[in-house]
Structure 1
Amino acid sequence: MSVTSDLHTRTLPQPAAMLELIKPITWFPPMWAYLCGVISSGVSPLESLFLVILGVLLAGPIVCGMSQAANDWCDRHVDAINEPHRPIPSGRIPGRWGLWIALAMSGLALVVGWFLGPWGFGATVLGVIAAWAYSCPPVRLKRSGWWGPGLVGLSYESLPWFTGAAVLAVGAPSWEIVAVAVLYGLGAHGIMTLNDFKALEGDRQMGVNSLPVTLGPELAAKVACWVMIVPQLVVIALLFQWDRPWYGFFIVISVILQFYAMSVLLRDPKAKAPWYNATGVSLYVTGMMITAFALRTL
């Protein structure tokens, strides 16, 4: 039997394809943001190590993995154009298995979130709702180049940060923590916009109005850069206002390096977007952790 005919007659998903479906490479941002929340809370992580580990697993493999499975299921027609080798359009995850996996992981997320207390469970509920609202019709906020990346940015950065701080503090985080978490989540809108470049052709054909589709690659890249930079400038100003100048100084250096990386990106946005995601975004998330340590000392 040929490989092609085997894919068409397959009734069970390939184990490797199931792992590919939940995209481990995407788990880092929410896991990192949760750790930023833990650090910024001022509570020693060693005092609540179980909650730290459980929260990291929930933010990354479970909730983020679930969101990737839900997105791939709802995007299977777009992926058949853009990336037909992906698990669902390739047939390595046949039938409705992609949907069942996403639903099962949604349930698992809620169960695990329950053990993080009321704040952690509430945040988990919001995260699950956001994941499906982003991908699933009729809401499908992914169709908007403004609302979609904004929701993902807040879900990947702001919500885990808030959750990590609330779980360890066993209560609502300070307004400083909330403000910084929201700012970094808003800035992540630009990161999500750059991520849309790889699906430009399929999005255009399937009516997904990402910013690269509606504005064109060059203007969309410029918008993404400013959306990333402005919140960081506000964070720097806040750190100086809170008498944490050294932390602010290190983020200034990070922003300067990001400006250089952006100058490379803007020469050829479509080709350089993956490169920027490996360089400029690393500087962005480094600034998040620096800020978390600054908040810890307040």
Structure 2
Amino acid sequence: MGVSYSERTAVTRLDPKAVLTLLKPVTWFPPMWAFTCGAISAGVPLSSERLWTLALGIGLTGPLVCASSQAVNDWFDRHVDAINEPNRPIPSGRIPGQWGLAIAIFWSALCVVWALPLGRFGLGAVAVALAFSWAYSAPPFRFKRNGWLGNTAVGFTYEGLAWVTGAGIMLGNVLPPTPLLLLAALYSIGAHGIMTLNDFKAIEGDRTMGINSLPVMLGPTGAGWVASLVMLVSQFVVIALLLSWGRPGYASAIGVLAAVQAGLMWWFVQKPVERALYLSAFGVPFYVSGMMVSAFAVRTLPIITGVATEAVR
């Protein structure tokens, strides 16, 4: 007879090493990268003062905001994880009792404190990110119960909000110009597909616990096609925008990166459950490389250089 989740956590002590596992450093990269892309796209020279601001922002988006969202998610997913991944810190008992919730609350509060030196724009962005991270995982909202809504929320915060925050802070706590908002929105949409790739490993537990991820709702093949097309179409629109802004070289570079992804995606959709992890590992880096190419492409647009000039005065 199996040992229940509550029985296992009741007889174990907190493992300090498990706290780092709970915060999942491997997941910190996407928002840190998006924040950096936003900062670069702003076209503002990186003085010593702004380098310090950049470092604060990168630390905020990854080890703090993203880490807190992971703790929140693992706490409210502990029963699902007991089915899908029982060796995770909470269902395994290495983080027992209410420790998981306490860590999630503490890390969220730490985010707010860390954001204070970044001004009203950074603080506001953190408030939005934390609200979405709790609403994604926690009842009564629990956006993750629906793959369309949940993945949209994660894509918006991980990529779009991080990009806009990086640009806005560098530009002196103002809303970035329209080209930057468009790029942030498009890469957020594409990130919906990236989030779907993560759902293939949890199909059994999601189905059992009533979580309607796209692989559960559409089946693995249908979800695989949706994830691939969402990622590719968003990049095609970015390419079209760069061409319209007179940046053909950058557009071509993103086209090459997208072509590589398309080849990997065709291979992926043949066996999506078995190959989702491989597409995440080998295809997504080409996607995020395109984000940085886009950032460098637009930083010299007249509309952006005008705002950047005002910011450094």
Relative to the length of structure 2, the TM-score reads 0.92
Cα distance 1:6–1:141, how it changes in 2: closer, same or farther (>3 A)? Answer: closer
Cα distance 1:44–1:201, how it changes in 2: closer, same or farther (>3 A)? Answer: same
CA contact (8 A) 2:8 2:92 kept: no
Partners in 2 of 1:38 and 1:31 — Cα distance?
11
Partners in 2 of 1:222 and 1:191 — Cα distance?
12
Query: Is residue 248 of structure 1 aligned with residue 251 of structure 2?
Result: yes
Q: Secondary structure at the match of 2:270?
A: coil
Partners in 1 of 2:160 and 2:77 — Cα distance?
25
265, 268, 279: which one aligns with 1:265:
268
Partners in 1 of 2:288 and 2:123 — Cα distance?
25
For 2:156, the equivalent position in structure 1 comes to 154
Partners in 1 of 2:9 and 2:180 — Cα distance?
49
Cα distance 1:65–1:242, how it changes in 2: closer, same or farther (>3 A)? Answer: same
Partners in 2 of 1:6 and 1:45 — Cα distance?
51
Partners in 2 of 1:176 and 1:33 — Cα distance?
15
For 1:79, the equivalent position in structure 2 comes to 81
Consecutive unaligned residues in structure 1, runs of 5 or more = none
Query: Is residue 25 of structure 1 aligned with residue 11 of structure 2?
Result: no
Aligned residues: 293
For 1:46, the equivalent position in structure 2 comes to 47
101, 108, 115: which one aligns with 2:103:
101
For 1:237, the equivalent position in structure 2 comes to 240
Q: Secondary structure at the match of 1:158?
A: helix
Give the partner amino acid of 2:156: L
For 2:66, the equivalent position in structure 1 comes to 64
CA contact (8 A) 1:134 1:140 kept: yes
Q: Secondary structure at the match of 1:87?
A: coil
1:129-168 matches, within 5 Å, as 129-168=131-170
Relative to the length of structure 1, the TM-score reads 0.97
Give the partner amino acid of 1:229: L
For 1:188, the equivalent position in structure 2 comes to 191
Cα deviation, residue 45, structure 1: 2.6
Partners in 2 of 1:94 and 1:45 — Cα distance?
45
Q: Secondary structure at the match of 1:132?
A: helix
| Segments ≥4 residues shifted beyond 4 Å | 5-8
Partners in 1 of 2:123 and 2:37 — Cα distance?
19
For 1:117, the equivalent position in structure 2 comes to 119
What is the alpha-carbon root mean square deviation over aligned residues? Answer: 1.1
CA contact (8 A) 1:146 1:211 kept: yes
Partners in 2 of 1:110 and 1:240 — Cα distance?
39
1:201-220 matches, within 5 Å, as 201-220=204-223
Cα deviation, residue 14, structure 1: 1.0
Cα deviation, residue 6, structure 1: 9.0
Give the partner amino acid of 1:261: L
Partners in 2 of 1:50 and 1:247 — Cα distance?
29
Partners in 1 of 2:183 and 2:296 — Cα distance?
12
Cα deviation, residue 196, structure 1: 0.4
Q: Secondary structure at the match of 1:45?
A: coil
Cα distance 1:103–1:7, how it changes in 2: closer, same or farther (>3 A)? Answer: closer
Consecutive unaligned residues in structure 2, runs of 5 or more = 1-6, 302-313
Cα deviation, residue 16, structure 1: 1.0
Cα distance 1:30–1:256, how it changes in 2: closer, same or farther (>3 A)? Answer: same
Give the partner amino acid of 1:231: S
Q: Secondary structure at the match of 2:201?
A: helix
Give the partner amino acid of 1:164: G
CA contact (8 A) 1:38 1:45 kept: no
Q: Secondary structure at the match of 1:146?
A: helix
Cα deviation, residue 260, structure 1: 0.5
